[in-house]
Structure 1
């Protein structure tokens, strides 16, 4: 018999050897998580009843974090020590955490939120960010990240858009591959398992309401929503996927074998493990009502291919073991899931090195990634409109900064950033969030010890050295005055508006600091998990404030801090300049101020379209040919709607600069075989007087027999920085294997036919256009044969 402790064996062989030694109960326990407080107390000592938990030791640990890395490492070490030294086979756990835009644990740098990272169009920086997160998580013993979010977000009513990389599957794939590559690293023994979520169709929640069904067909699921996940699997070797809470074709994904096994494993070639979103199996019984009790939910889920139940046992563990013993569950399904989990543990090297780093220097950890966070924040700022007022002259103006974002820093840290997560835990422990997961006596005691209540605004200013927009503008303007004027969604009364108008009237220029906030189920907010909106207009209180301030006649610069699209009131649309910034973390306001005063030449590009009105939704750029705003106008009809254009106010990929760029001299292949590749090149020139960067964007229009395809789809991009007068040749190489779709016979196929492209600076900018012909026999491709990302090269670099 093979010995699972033999390091010369492969991870597969070791997993199979260990699996053979497990009892049914031990197997089923490897598929569940526990909260850390059932194993250890907050001081690391044995928790009451931990011996019973260790009788069939859990495979995973959820919700383990702390205010500083040393304490976190101490707790993860204590948990692993119990599992390794006090159980029959000494199997360590996979401890997971969140890492959407920074490791969600105290003492670590926060980066811009997902749509902010996407606005940079900088996969190389996202990979660097993920590498920093990998080192931090490994150091503390947390070896699985419930990140990245690869949902294709097509509905801005959905409150979780800011967690995503926006509306375009290609851009999401490019950034997702970069994140997964950086997080898992070249060798998983020194890496962290990436868990892409939420598979599948979660960004198309019906009505924009969280948890809702994805109403779409199988082709669209594969070609649009699965595209980023499939790219991460095939290019970056992603090791885990998290299911969506929603259902597809009336079947919840957590029990949907067509999605979790036939599509994910059989078609896409995924060979890692599926982690359930928290309480998925409970949702099956209590919310979706497709299972009568936990045992029924467990039977459905394990047969579908849901490997791991998080955060704690409900339908797996002892419940699932009983179902196996009575013959209601096929043991082969359980064995397949357990083997995947054990293989991941061997790939991580947990059996040889289960413990975190012993020595951690807090100051050094706190500094890691700060310069990178600042650079990402700078690149994420989008200049949407500018009549010439920007950049503002430094040292000359009296500036009034008016609005709810003027002097508040907390709003820069959304859900899935540590400060917001911490405040949620504090409030949960007080019982302020109803029956949210974790409200129990032991959890309250644990959280009370680790997370003493603090003022959130003071916390981010002291722990992250975060500064407000008022403070940052004060570095460039000799006189700065500020008034909030309104809350995010609530009016502060006529006196507050009067004070804001008075301050504006005495200034040379007014910066309207408006926008949203993503928080958990607490406080004034406009976005976040279970914080969706039927109307995506900028909140009425802020619109009224903007209208009142615009009445002063002073030049207005609107700064919108947001994680998703908002429709804008006339006073904002008519401002002299409009700047759109994400929830940027500690350097968000600094990045905005640097753009306002020309220290940074803006280069951000929108990762989502901004509609003129909520009624336009959906307005994303890759709508199918002949659908929505991609429909041709009927005779004698000037526009699609009677009351407004169907086009967005600001399209996907839009973003201005303080300099000008031109694209010229396009060259391209006119004919491409279905087994070949397409070459397209053009010259980019900085025709202005200032150094700057832009993103050259390639869009494709393809045809297939009998299947409607997008009117255009992003096929490549390259961010390029040029000095004044400098030119560079930018070339794209697109493999024909990137040009296919799921055909009328439901096979992914590259077919011959006419095609076209354009190159521009946004999804409506057809600066250069061309046509080509795909020729040759139809080419049916397996997932491993597909190409997902084109090669973009700046010649001479």
Structure 2
């Protein structure tokens, strides 16, 4: 057997007719041939899946970034890495495609020519958080995942996922770091915007539709003439966050040390697990465990060690691999090994429960737990060291590298799918048909919570009304002639106030992107609603990236006002819904609590557990 420090072995030129290059051979044979030619260092590089930046105009980024991302050539040539999560994209699809092809050209120049797999967090909605999701930019823009759940139609979810698949393929993104099927059972949790809400049945049903849409294995793809099987026309899905990241203690998020504990006071672990079993059945290819450290958890009568899920062999091997039969790729969430500086602030590694371990020991523990890849890390030298010292056998690497290489082969990355057509990218990304479909979905997802029975604020509103708008950043997409926008409440027939669900700031920099804490609006916001509503009939629209306490808003509106919710909708899409151009179909995907005391008294893991909610999950008026 080769040794990890024997640099001479396996580093020679590879014949042009090597079996792994022959597309006519079975995938298993190609994987075995390539694996047998790899050095330990080359294998170690495959086990890391970290962020990558794009350079100006679609060039490769060769300067370290504020997110702590190393230079591209360093990662690909120096560390043998070939899996990258692309952050903010170039301004145009053409630049994105050119960047992707340059990246693949650099990969093709290496000894083995292993192609890069580019992945992405969600980037087709309204969230702009470098740690969770990206603003749509040149891509079509749809409601956030709770908005898709508000419509509740698996066909719409599959349609949206198919649009994402088409646009991702056009620029070379081959792995989706989604869908997210955690349950939003803790109303304060900052990650609710990525979920299908609080209902486990809906999360499983709609999450499965997302898998089929992204992987091209559902009805939408078959209608388009695709084979309906996973392959070169697919985007591989990485479902998250196994075994359910929703029940965070007090709703705090485990990106940060104060949110590391995941708790189950209601014994509802199986409820959170249920959607993942449905997505495994639907064929999801990859799985991401969450950062959370389970406290007081028992599974099948056995206490689960209180360490982060990616370090936990009971969960990754015993539950996911053996009990649920999942044989796909397991990639940890980002940044479990090394402390890092993000946007100028130092953050500790999210090694919850194993903080006392060294980075080398953390990597050893993750591999022993059963993970294939370490997300957000770029330290393959630690794996090489583990093999060199005999702490991890090379055969353990082979198991994971074979899974990772197989995915590349099946996706066609070693063959025709390696490069993308730059001109076609410009034609596909942001296609008017997809943009229109996304906007219509935004309108459909609007949820009417309470409606005035008569007057200008009654819904659907009459077209041609004079509308005074507050809280809207962009009105350029308002349909011409639909309403007349005026400059003051005194000129208006109706006021439209756009609010966002409240939150408590947790810190500057990276931490500021996570909306956590109290769901109560500040007193000045309620006073403002009351003041406007006393001057003109008013519609209040609230963006629910997580639940909010709306009882004071409803009281401030009075009987002449209407209250609606959105989950990502432009002003134009909202007005289309309010005036009936597109019928608002939304039904709440989670309960809206009546008070913070009810939230604090509820159990983090139990759905629908807040006492006497203002509006129940599923509420929504037909207008």
Shorter-normalised TM range: 0.7 to 0.9
- Conserved 8 A contact 1:509-1:556: yes
Q: Shift in Å at residue 9 of structure 1?
A: 4.1
SS state of the match for residue 115, structure 2?
Answer: coil
1:24-35 matches, within 5 Å, as 24-33=40-49
Give, in angstroms, the shift of residue 569 of structure 1: 4.5
The alignment status of 1:304 with 2:309, answered yes or no, reads: no
Pick from 271, 287, 299 the counterpart of residue 224 of structure 1. Answer: 271
Task: Please name the residue that 1:346 is paired with.
Answer: 409
* 8 Å CA contact 1:515, 1:538 repeated in 2: no
Structure 2: distance between partners of 1:617 and 1:61: 39
* 1:362 has 2:426 as partner: yes
| Map of 1:481 onto structure 2 | 486
Q: Is the 8 A contact 1:538 1:569 kept in 2?
A: no
In the alignment, structure 1 residue 192 sits paired with structure 2 residue 258: no
CA distance in 1, matches of 2:371, 2:153: 33
Match of 1:335 among 382, 398, 423: 398
Match of 2:468 in 1: 400
Tell me how far apart the structure 1 counterparts of residues 281 and 604 of structure 2 sit (CA, whole Å).
23
Matched, 1:208 2:251: yes
- Which has the larger displacement, 287-296 or 143-152? 287-296
1:115 matches 2:121: no
Partner in structure 2 of residue 541 of structure 1: 524
Change (3 A) 1:515 1:624: closer
Structure 2 gap segments, 5+ residues each: 1-16, 64-70, 126-133, 217-227, 296-305, 340-347
How far is 1:575 from its partner? 4.5
Distance 1:160 1:628, change over 3 A: closer
User: 1:138 & 1:504 partners in 2: Cα distance?
Assistant: 47
Secondary structure in 1 matching 2:240: strand
Question: Does the 8 Å CA contact 1:608/1:620 hold for their aligned counterparts?
Answer: no
Q: CA deviation at 1:531?
A: 2.4
Q: Structure 1 residues 571 and 82 mapped into 2: Cα distance closer, same or farther (>3 Å)?
A: closer
Maintained 8 Å contact 2:250/2:604: no
Q: 1:343 Cα shift?
A: 1.2
How many Å separate the matches in 1 of 2:550 and 2:72? 56
* 1:69 lines up with 2:93 in the alignment: yes
Deviation of the 1:287 alpha carbon: 5.5
- Structure 1 segment 349-748 matched on structure 2, within 5 A: 349-353=412-416, 354-360=418-424, 362=426, 365-367=429-431, 368-389=433-454, 390-391=458-459, 394=462, 397-401=465-469, 403=470, 405=471, 407-409=472-474, 467=477, 471=478, 475-478=481-484, 480-482=485-487, 503-504=488-489, 507-516=492-501, 529-533=513-517, 535-552=518-535, 554-573=536-555, 574-585=558-569, 588-617=570-599, 646-658=611-623
The answer (yes or no) to whether the contact 2:59–2:102 under 8 Å persists in 1 is no
Q: CA deviation at 1:600?
A: 3.2
Distance of 2:327 and 2:62 partners within structure 1: 36
Q: Indicate conservation of the 8 Å contact 1:116/1:581, yes or no.
A: no
Deviation at 1:307, TM superposition (A): 1.2
| Partner Cα separation in structure 2 for residue 208 and residue 559 of structure 1 | 24
Query: Residue 218 and residue 243 in structure 1: after superposition, are their counterparts in 2 closer, same or farther (change >3 A)?
Result: farther
The SS at the match of 1:383 is strand
TM-score normalized with structure 2 length = 0.79
- TM score, norm. by length of structure 1: 0.63
Q: Give the superposition deviation at 1:611.
A: 0.8
Deviation for aligned residue 1:144: 0.8
| C-alpha RMSD of matched pairs (Å) | 3.5
Question: 245-254 or 162-171: which moved more?
Answer: 245-254
Q: Deviations over 1:91-120 (max 9, x none)?
A: 112111123535866421111111111111
The separation in 2 between residues aligned to 1:36 and 1:92, in whole angstroms, is 15
Superimposed CA distance per residue, residues 308-356 of structure 1 (whole angstroms, 9 cap, x where no aligned partner)? 1223323xx1111111110112333322211111111111111113112
* Residue aligning to 1:446: none
Residues 744-783 of structure 1 aligned to structure 2 (within 5 Å): none
**Does the C-alpha gap of structure 1 residues 567 and 44 become closer, same or farther in structure 2, counting only changes over 3 Å?**
closer
Q: Give the equivalent residue in structure 1 for 2:23.
A: 7
Tell me, which stretches of 5 or more residues in structure 1 are unaligned?
410-460, 483-502, 630-645, 659-797
Q: Which residue of structure 2 lines up, in the alignment, with residue 21 of structure 1?
A: 37
Matched, 1:257 2:313: yes
Higher strand share: 1
**What is the count of residue pairs matched by the alignment?**
548
> Which of residues 284, 292, 295 in structure 2 aligns to 1:238?
284
**CA 1:599–1:563 in 2, change beyond 3 Å: closer, same or farther?**
same
Deviations 1:545-598 (A, max 9, x none): 11223344x43322222222111253524454444332425xx32232133223
Determine if contact 1:273/1:340 at 8 Å carries over to the other structure: yes
Could you tell me whether the CA contact under 8 Å between 2:310 and 2:332 is conserved in 1?
yes
Q: Report if the CA contact (8 A) 1:32-1:311 is conserved.
A: yes
- Conservation of the 8 A alpha-carbon contact between 1:39 and 1:79: no
